[in-house]
Structure 1
């Protein structure tokens, strides 16, 4: 099994190191990841300047690794179409993210977007994130990602599906199990803090507090709050099919 590993926290983040080392137990691992943190970049790709790539020593391992001056989506496209000319990966695993990617936040997530890019290229993919930034260790989440990777490759009929995992940040014995979930609703009370630079010009820092909202009983947010591992199958087709059928009856004139 050939496994491409990436993230949005940067190639020397603790989460990607633990993940890549664990995945070595089940296959050949190649790491292609951003040279610096690219959180909340969504599915951005680089088109206005060159993508610089550097082969790097990946911690204390012998893993083939490349640092990319680009986004997580860039890393997957570049790896599959240029760096791995001797054979594309069987699966892409993105993470382990330092913090959750729940509900509608997946739209902003670089971690999830890397996995989405893989699915667009017909490669099975997993995005895995820790349930909060109060992280004890990444080892258990990495082990779980390995099991999920093996399970996905047993079920190759999961075409164009991304598996988004959020792993509780608690002791292993406190985890109640895993649940297949839906995306919850995640909204923020956004606060823009206005400041002034030494020349008197205004600038803004974006800050936000999560708003408590009623969630479906099957949502990833409720599962994680109850110390379950949430496993959400997602897809990149954003078509709203109920509205699609309604709008076809509108007889829109030109």
Structure 2
């Protein structure tokens, strides 16, 4: 049975990349429903889709299966976060289009260059490309310290952002040339406040290691930017494997680097701020590169 639809309430579509059963998504839905302020739609991948970036399903149909989440109308989709958002706002799955799309809460931060890899951010970006306001939410999970309860706290501290965005949307004053990427610090209960930041150039250097055919111990972390202290062994090294069938798994080679920009997302997040980073969808090179290639092109000709 569908959840009761209230015409006087704004509608929020929730998606993610950790899958529809992930604690981050369930906590976010629960907190939003507890306010009795919104109609909640959920359209999220039916399985883990971390680090799939903005990939879409093209060659075969998607399946959408009804999932029971009390108070919401929810579907699990056999696709990516971008697929889930696109289907969710298409009016094919739900009779009404959401006023706002929120993607998350991701298990791990999404800052710097890792925004490119992020399925969570892609879920919000797809809505932006379709003209629907959107926000991606990520919690800077730290293995051995963070708990599932932290997702509830993370959702609660994001409520003022979500509320204000919806107010601006209703007034017609919300900027449509960007979407928001929000990262919540590890110690969310003691955060230092909200801070508008720029996308930085931080990145975890990844490498490869050969693993045994049974893949014992080899698996990806649920996010590209989960704190490296929470990393697990990626697999046992093998020197006896057949040269015709080699298996390799990723591993962290170097911690995430800070680029020194005090206004960057990663640096501010690590200082304890809830970072709010406006993003666009264009990948423009900086002015210095443009100048170099304007001088370079006549020589090619």
Pick from 273, 277, 285 the counterpart of residue 232 of structure 1: 277
Could you tell me how far 1:82 is from its partner in structure 2? 4.3
Match of 2:247 among 187, 203, 206: 203
Alignment pair present for 1:154 and 2:171: no
Runs of 4+ in structure 1 off by over 4 angstroms are 243-254
SS where residue 115 of structure 1 aligns? helix
Quote the Cα distance in structure 1 between the aligned partners of 2:13 and 2:139.
Answer: 20
Q: Which residue does 2:191 correspond to in 1?
A: 175
Once the 2 structures are TM-superposed, how far is the Cα of residue 63 of structure 1 from its aligned partner? 1.1
Q: Does 1:18 align with 2:31?
A: no
Give the match for residue 118 of structure 2: 109
Deviation at 1:79, TM superposition (A): 1.1
Q: Is the 8 A contact 2:153 2:188 kept in 1?
A: no
Question: Residue 86 of structure 2 corresponds to which residue in structure 1?
Answer: 77
* Number of aligned residue pairs: 251
SS state of the match for residue 182, structure 1? coil
Are 1:165 and 2:168 counterparts?
Answer: no
Would you say the 8 A contact 2:85–2:123 is kept in 1?
Answer: yes
User: Whole-Å Cα distance in 1 between the matches of residues 295 and 30 of structure 2?
Assistant: 54
Q: 1:88 to 1:244 in 2, by over 3 A?
A: farther
Instruction: Give SS of 2:205's match.
Output: strand
User: Which secondary structure does the structure 2 equivalent of 1:149 belong to?
Assistant: helix
Equivalent-residue separation in structure 1 for 2:295 and 2:163 (angstroms)? 45
Is this contact kept in 1: 2:196–2:276, CA < 8 A?
Answer: yes
Q: Name the residue aligned to 1:193.
A: 209
CA contact (8 A) 1:124 1:160 kept: no
1:124-178 Cα deviation digits (max 9, x unpaired) = 1110111124423212211222221221233343113111111112151x21112
SS of residue paired to 1:166 = strand
Aligned counterparts of 1:15 and 1:189: Cα–Cα separation in 2: 26
User: Could you say what secondary structure the match of 1:65 adopts?
Assistant: strand
Alignment of structure 1 residues 53-132 onto 2, 5 Å: 53-58=64-69, 61-84=70-93, 86-132=95-141
Q: What is the CA deviation profile of residues 65-95 of structure 1, one whole-angstrom value per residue up to 9, with x for unaligned ones?
A: 0000000000011111143553211000000
Question: Per residue, is there more strand in 1 or in 2?
Answer: 1
Q: Residue 185 of structure 1 aligns to a residue in which SS? A: coil
TM-score calculated relative to the size of structure 2? 0.77
Aligned mates of 1:123, 1:21 — CA distance in 2 = 23
Alignment partner, residue 35 of structure 1: 46
**CA 240–212 in structure 1, closer or farther in 2 if over 3 Å, else same:** closer
Structure 1 gap segments, 5+ residues each: none
Query: Structure 2: which 5+ residue stretches go unaligned?
Result: 1-9, 215-240
* Inter-partner Cα distance in structure 1 for 2:117 and 2:209: 21
3-state SS of paired residue (1:81)? coil
TM-score with structure 1 setting the length: 0.91
> What is the match of residue 258 of structure 2?
213
Bigger Rg, structure 1 or 2:
2
CA distance in 2, matches of 1:142, 1:196: 40
